[in-house]
Amino acid sequence: MYDLFDTIISWLVLIFGVGAPLFIIFRAIGIKGFREITVYSKYNTFLYRTNPVIKIIMTITIMMVVTTSIWWIGAILTAAVLSLYITLENGKRKLYIGSLFIISTLVGSIWGYAPFVTFSTLNTVFPHFVPDVIWTWPSYFAVLGYQHTLTLQALEYSFQISFRSTAIMASALILVMTNTPTQILRTLHKFRVPDSIILSLMVAMRTVSFVLQYLDESIKIQMMRGLGSKHSKFLKPIFYFVAALQGLVPTIIHIMRGGKDTGISVDTRGFKATKKRSYVEENSIDHLDYYVLVVIVMLVIMDVTINIMGFGRVIPYN
């Protein structure tokens, strides 16, 4: 009796770990939501007026701070950067989607790490710890590579390393949401990236949202044709996925066909006819950017102080 109970709970936990992020991604955010947080929309607050170069420096700084300091700095920075979303156009919705995205990443990576952390890894993180066993997996779970027991420490460790990437993700998305592709690419031009590669990048940035949009349409059309309609509602996410896979090649062909026209129209407008590009609008650094720079410098100072105080990176990377 106990065995059956044990098995059922274990599978429920396993399904939660796999299913919760998927549920958030497909049901709560949806492909449309992804589009909203990866695409520029016109608005005018301080984040939109900040120079893209400064924003890239900001992201790099956040990365350096997160990777060299203790985990809760990463958590605080994630929350801080996410709260900036409220100043964007349609801010509440962007904050909502951004938070869901970060949460799904967190849940996903916690469950991606926790059951697999070995005792020896935990021992280097928490020296001489006494494992608090929360759950003992059935023995056949070893086939999945699961450790025999799930400890509180394993959860804690996974929770901590999950914050490594969230702040960087959140701040990189700000750059994409607040600057047009042209502005971002002009920045790259300053770093001496060749024009032809900039053209590729420009096309890429524009296309990301198209890919999401066309995939979404293709999935919806498959669903309208009745894919998976005879099965229970719980299997719907699986059919959603099947539809996405089926729509992949047609979407690629459709978008690549459009690419041919883009190439012709870029050529007829004299792409690379002259050596130098000219701009109508200049990207200049003004006093607002200096304020952001001050924040960046403060972040670095905080990082150094925190390291001196002994809150440096204590968790080993694998």
Partner 1 sequence: MGFNGIDGSLSQPGIIPWQYVTVYFALALIFAIYISRKNSTLSRFKTVDYVYTGISAAFMIVWNFFVGPFLDKFVPAGAASFIGFGGVGEFMILLILAGLVRKMGIGMLGWAVYDIMADVYSYGFGGEPLYLIYKMLCFGIIIDIWIGITRGMPFGVGSRKNIKASDENGVASKNSTSSFVSSKINMTKTMPVIAGIVMGIPWAIAGPLFFTGFFAPLLYGGIVDWQAIIFSMYASIPSFVLFGIIGSFMAARVSRVIG
Residues that bind partner 1 (CB under 8 A): 17-18, 21-22, 25, 34, 38, 56, 59-60, 62-64, 67-68, 108, 112, 115-116, 143-146, 165, 168-169, 171-173, 175-176, 184, 188, 193, 196-197, 199-208, 210-212, 215, 244, 249, 252-253, 255-257, 259-260, 262-264, 266-267, 271-272, 317
Q: 241 or 290, CB closer to partner 1?
A: 241
- The backbone torsions φ and ψ at residue 192, rounded to the nearest 5 degrees and listed phi first, read 65, 35
Q: CB of 130 within 8 A of CB of 119?
A: no
Q: CB of 148 within 8 A of CB of 137?
A: yes
Structure tokens at 160: 């901590």
Q: 229 or 272, CB closer to partner 1?
A: 272
Q: 229 or 309, CB closer to partner 1?
A: 309
Q: How far is the CB of 136 from partner 1 (least distance, A)?
A: 18
Q: How far is the CB of 266 from partner 1 (least distance, A)?
A: 5
d(CA 311, CA 203): 43
Q: How far is the CB of 1 from partner 1 (least distance, A)?
A: 27
Q: How far is the CB of 195 from partner 1 (least distance, A)?
A: 9
Q: How far is the CB of 242 from partner 1 (least distance, A)?
A: 12
Q: 1 or 268, CB closer to partner 1?
A: 268
Structure tokens at 170: 């959140």
Q: 75 or 174, CB closer to partner 1?
A: 174
Q: How far is the CB of 88 from partner 1 (least distance, A)?
A: 17
Q: Is 271 exposed, middle or buried (0-12, 13-18, 19+ CB in 10 A)?
A: middle
Q: How far is the CB of 130 from partner 1 (least distance, A)?
A: 25
Where helices occur in the chain by DSSP H, the ranges are: 2-23, 30-36, 46-49, 52-68, 71-83, 91-113, 119-125, 152-178, 181-190, 195-224, 236-268, 287-308
Structure tokens at 92: 């509440």
Beta-bridge partners for 298: none
d(CA 165, CA 81): 13
d(CA 264, CA 257): 12
Q: 45 or 307, CB closer to partner 1?
A: 307
Q: How far is the CB of 175 from partner 1 (least distance, A)?
A: 7
Q: 21 or 74, CB closer to partner 1?
A: 21
**Radius of gyration of the chain measured on its C-alpha atoms:** 24
Q: 82 or 205, CB closer to partner 1?
A: 205
Of the candidates 177, 240, 173, the one whose C-alpha atom is nearest the C-alpha of residue 27 is: 240
Q: CB of 194 within 8 A of CB of 122?
A: no
